[in-house]
Homo-oligomer: A and B are copies of this chain.
Amino acid sequence: MTMRITIILVMSWAEHARTELRRSGARSGGAREAVIAYLGEQHCCVSAQELHDGLRAEGRTVGIASVYRALDQLAELHLVHRVDLDRGLTRYEPAQPDGEHHHHLVCDGCGKVETFDDPVLERALSRVAGSRDYALAAHDVVLRGACADCRS
C-alpha cells in the first residue's frame, strides 16, 4: 500500500515579502511591516498616499517618507509592481512570486479600474521583445475607454 501525501504550502504574499526582505539582509521595523501588512490586503494597486491614509485610518501612523522607502525597497526586490494609471501618480501592487500578473482597464468616465489578463497578449509581447533581442524585465499595458455604464 502506498500513501501519497501532498503538502500544499500556502504562503501569503506578506509572508513571502518578509522572507525575501530578511534574505536580502534587511532588518525589520514597524513602518515597513505596516506597509507590507497593508499591501497584502489589497486586491489591486494603491498609491503611496492611499496607503499612508489607509494606515492612518487603522491607527498606525507611519511617516510618508517611510512609506516611499518601503515601497522602493519592495520594488527593488520585485515584490511589488509599480503601475502608472494616472500621469504623475505611481501606484503599487503586490507581485505574485510565480510571475502571475494582470493588466488594467480604466474607465475614462467613472475612473473605475478593472483588471484582465490575456495569454494571446502576453505571447505577442514576448514575441516582440524576442524579435528585438530584449530580455524582458517588465511590461505595462493600460487600456482606457468608456465602460458600458458610462456610455448608456
A128 contacts B144, CB within 8 Å? no
A121 contacts B132, CB within 8 Å? no
Q: Could you tell me the distance in whole angstroms from the C-beta of A118 to the nearest C-beta in chain B?
A: 5
Copies of this protein in the complex = 2
B143 contacts A114, CB within 8 Å? no
* Total chain A interface residues with beta-carbon distance under 8 A: 36
B129 contacts A118, CB within 8 Å? no
Which residues on B sit within 8 Å (CB–CB) of A144?
136-140
Which A residues have a C-beta under 8 Å from some C-beta of B? 82, 84, 87-88, 90, 105, 107-108, 114, 116, 118, 120-121, 124-125, 127-129, 132-148, 151
Question: 29 A-B Cβ contacts within 8 A?
Answer: A82-B87, A87-B90, A88-B90, A105-B132, A105-B134, A108-B137, A116-B132, A120-B120, A120-B127, A121-B124, A121-B125, A121-B128, A125-B141, A125-B143, A128-B143, A129-B143, A129-B145, A132-B147, A134-B145, A134-B147, A136-B143, A136-B144, A136-B145, A137-B145, A137-B146, A139-B142, A139-B143, A140-B142, A141-B141
Beyond contacts A84-B87, A105-B132, A134-B146: 20 other A-B pairs, Cβ-Cβ < 8 A, are A82-B87, A88-B90, A105-B129, A108-B137, A114-B132, A116-B128, A116-B132, A120-B120, A121-B121, A124-B124, A125-B141, A125-B143, A134-B145, A134-B147, A135-B146, A136-B144, A136-B145, A139-B141, A140-B140, A140-B141
